[in-house]
Amino acid sequence: MQLYKPQKLRIALKAYNSKILDESCAKIINVLNTTSVKIIGPIPLPTKRRIYCVLRSPHVNKDAREHFEIRTHKRLIDLYYPSEITIENLRNIDLSGGVDVEIKSY
């Protein structure tokens, strides 16, 4: 029985800090450059801004409010025709704690 071999892997990275995200992308690309894989990326996606409005005082001064925002930075890296060695190297990468990584095969 022949195993399914993906033709394309898409790595989606998310983080609140763009510097940590760029360092993680650089680590991934350095590891992938050791194998012969076609790499496209990192592609920066639009930053998602979530803004929260909070009352300064719970009972009086309803006009006094504070605004807080959280920015989510995203990057995409595409790999074409990855080998099993490439996939194994991806599993062994040690990334920063604030980075969320999703790997999908197509």
The per-residue pLDDT for 49 is 96
| Residue 1 covered by a domain | no
Domain that holds residue 49: 8-105
Q: What is the count of structural domains for the chain? A: 1
| Residue 25 covered by a domain | yes
- Checking if the pLDDT of 70 tops 70, the result is yes
The per-residue pLDDT for 47 is 95
Residue 73 contacts residue 46 (beta carbons within 8 Å): no
pTM of the full structure: 0.81
Phi and psi for 67 in degrees, rounded to 5? -115, 130
| Residue 2 covered by a domain | no
- Dihedral, CA of residue 45, residue 33, residue 101 and residue 71, to nearest 10: -30
